[in-house]
Amino acid sequence: MTTKTVDGVAVEVNDEGFFEKPEQWTEAMVPVLCKEEGIDEVTDDHMKVIRFVRNEYETKGTGPTVRALGKTSGVSVKELYQLFPKGPAKIAARVAGIPKPKGCV
Amino acid sequence: MTHRIVILGGGTGGTLTANRLRRIYKKEEASITVVDQDDRHVYQPGLLFVPFGLTHPEDIVRPRSRQLRKGIDYVRSAIDHVDIEAEQVHLTNGDALPYDVLVVATGVDLLPDETEGMTGPGWMSKVFTFYNLEGASALEGALAKFEGGKVVINIVDMPIKCPIAPLEFAFMADWYFHERGIRDDVELTYVTPLDGAFTKPTAAAALGHLLDEKGVHVVTEFNTGEVDGESGRLVSYDGREVPFDLAVMIPIHGGAEYVGRSEGLGDELNFVPTNPATLQSTVKPNVFAIGDATNLPTSKAGSVTHFEGEVLVENIRRFLAGEQMDATYDGHANCFIETGFHKAMLIDFNYDTEPLPGHFPTQVGMPLLKESRLNHLGKLMFQWFYWHSLLPGRDIPGIKPDMPLAGKALSRS
């Protein structure tokens, strides 16, 4: 676990860069977090997905998988990969300040 | 009063649940009805052997109805939907079945159409799956004619039934081409969305090593966006490509379609949200689920279903008697991994303990996470246990539902 500063605020992240304390996240951090993932321009579509992921986590306790995102967020899997080329579920979770989505076994 | 118990699905979970329930309830105490759309019960672990000509479809299929004890009603119909508020199952034949307890045991559906191009040109001529009987049989013909080239084994997305079966396929293919004397002309590639050979770290390392030893290339974190059968390539969402002459696909899995048509019964992938320790659904107290149909974070496998059976049936009894649920299912899974050349590995794990080396079930037993001939014999013998012990709802001697720790090398975890 390490502490890093995002948008002037100290936050705790794990080895893979996921927030240890989702409550430390604010929407204002999104542009900085996205930049770290190689996403220079945060569009409305990015925000739509990030808010959705955040809301899923808050209601269900875990972030959605890519397939679940594709079925429920209103953004298709193909578009999700255009928004987050390195893996929508993982990257969206990281920039939404939630833990790594529980994978399947 | 006679309790009305309706079980949807006459596969592993539905059959063993029905048989266990019939043993604890007299006929006047409970009616037990099993619904399935066909009368073909497939011994699914056998599907792995069909493409290599080591078993044949007729050897692994039996009538569903014949696996049920006397006094269990068998209704052959597809399911239109379940009304969990009115507590009724609506069948496509127009009938309605009211229930006091419902057990969802309809497993998963394969969804090859959800991946662009998979069922397009080349489907069943150079793009196959061995995850159903038709696919496994067709693949047998294609493999027999295969004289060399690139073979890919691709898992499109998790979860899938028996997550080790695709690995076993790779091991078996290595052996098969070896026996035919053309192994040097075949390039085997294992393409997975995971970051390693398996979902759990210790086993992933051991299995990854074995793939390496057998000369199987591994491509990880590959999320298949398209199967191009015409020019023979898998294309990932992030634009990577893997070429093939023959593709063995494990299509996307989802819960049964009718679950999606049943208001409030399933999640977005049609799996039933289920309490991991009690097997009671979280959608309604009188709805339970078992096996592949649940959303539980354990492998979708027959051994899991078998271990779930005892807790599930006890909890149905408790529910009908107005007692507290028994929360003791620990996610126990146990799988033989066929590795070719008359050898197999055995892994044993649960929600919290990953597959570890050692012996099963105690220190004097079958080797865990290690190839051996004994494990291969175990795998072959398992088919007998399946029909004669597991489906009738009996325990396998010496093997309890909760995971044994006795023979495991815990320090190496």
pTM exceeding 0.80: yes
Is residue B61 scored above 50 in pLDDT? yes
- CB-based contact A71 B268, cutoff 8 Å: yes
Mean pLDDT of B178-197: 95
Are residues A34 and A95 in contact, defined by beta-carbon separation less than 8 angstroms?
A: yes
Burial A19-47 (b: 16+ CB within 10 A, else e): beebeebeeebbeebbeebebeebeeebe
Positive or negative: CA dihedral A89, A91, A96, A97:
positive
Give me the helix-helix angle, B302-320 and B12-24, nearest 10°: 40
Residue A80: both structure tokens together: 């999700």
- Tell me the per-residue pLDDT of B94-114, one tens digit each, with 9 for 90 and over: 999 999 999 999 999 999 999
Mean pLDDT of A88-99: 93
- Tell me the per-residue pLDDT of B153-186, one tens digit each, with 9 for 90 and over: 999 998 999 999 999 999 999 999 999 999 999 9
Sheet holding B217-219, edge to edge: B127-128, B246-250, B149-155, B186-191, B217-219
Higher pLDDT residue, B21 or A67? B21
Q: Assign A27 to helix, strand or coil.
A: helix
The pLDDT value recorded for residue A98 is: 94
For residue B113, what is the DSSP state? G
Range(s) of the domain holding residue A29: 2-95
Q: What is the CATH number of the domain that holds A90?
A: 1.10.10.370
The pLDDT value recorded for residue B203 is: 87
Higher pLDDT residue, B120 or A68? B120
Q: Number of folded domains in chain A?
A: 1
| Of B323, B339, B143, nearest in space to B248 by CA | B143
Residue B413: both structure tokens together: 């975890």
Q: Is residue A53 part of a domain?
A: yes
Q: Is residue A100 part of a domain?
A: no
Q: Is residue A103 part of a domain?
A: no
Residues of B in contact with A105 (CB under 8 A): 158-159, 163, 199-200, 297-299
Lowest mean pLDDT across B38-47, B140-149, B194-203, B262-271: B194-203
Positive or negative: CA dihedral B255, B257, B259, B261:
positive
- Tell me the per-residue pLDDT of B363-397, one tens digit each, with 9 for 90 and over: 888 899 999 999 898 888 889 999 999 999 998 77
Domains and CATH numbers, chain B: 3-107+256-320 (3.50.50.60), 112-253 (3.50.50.60), 333-412 (no CATH)
Burial B359-389 (b: 16+ CB within 10 A, else e): bbbeeebbbbbebbeebbebbbebbebbeeb
Q: Say whether residue B238 is in contact with chain A using an 8 A CB cutoff.
A: yes
The pLDDT value recorded for residue B411 is: 56
Runs of H (alpha helix) within B88-242 = 133-145, 165-179, 201-213
Task: State the nearest Cα–Cα gap between B159 and chain A, in angstroms.
Answer: 6
Task: State the nearest Cα–Cα gap between B102 and chain A, in angstroms.
Answer: 25
Q: Say whether residue B407 is in contact with chain A using an 8 A CB cutoff.
A: no
Percent with pLDDT over 70 in chain B: 99
| Of A77, A22, A73, nearest in space to A50 by CA | A73
Q: Is residue A104 part of a domain?
A: no
Taking the C-alpha atoms of residue B50 and residue A57, their distance in angstroms, rounded to an integer, is 43
pLDDT averaged over chain A? 90
Give the confidence band of B412 by pLDDT, cuts at 50, 70, 90: very low
Show the CA angle centred on residue B62, arms to residues B168 and B250, nearest 5°: 30
Chain B, residues 173-202, CB within 8 A of chain A, namely: 194, 199-200
Mean pLDDT of B265-272: 96
Is residue B319 scored above 60 in pLDDT? yes
Q: Is residue A11 part of a domain?
A: yes
Chain A, residues 21-60, CB within 8 A of chain B, namely: none
Lowest mean pLDDT across A76-85, B3-12, B319-328: A76-85
The pLDDT value recorded for residue A104 is: 43
Are residues B186 and B225 in contact, defined by beta-carbon separation less than 8 angstroms?
A: no
Q: Assign B186 to helix, strand or coil.
A: strand
Q: Is residue A41 part of a domain?
A: yes
Give the confidence band of B410 by pLDDT, cuts at 50, 70, 90: confident
CA B237 to the chain's CA centroid: 27
Q: Assign B40 to helix, strand or coil.
A: strand
Taking the C-alpha atoms of residue A53 and residue A73, their distance in angstroms, rounded to an integer, is 8
> Half-sphere exposure of B236 toward its Cβ, with a 13 Å CA cutoff?
19
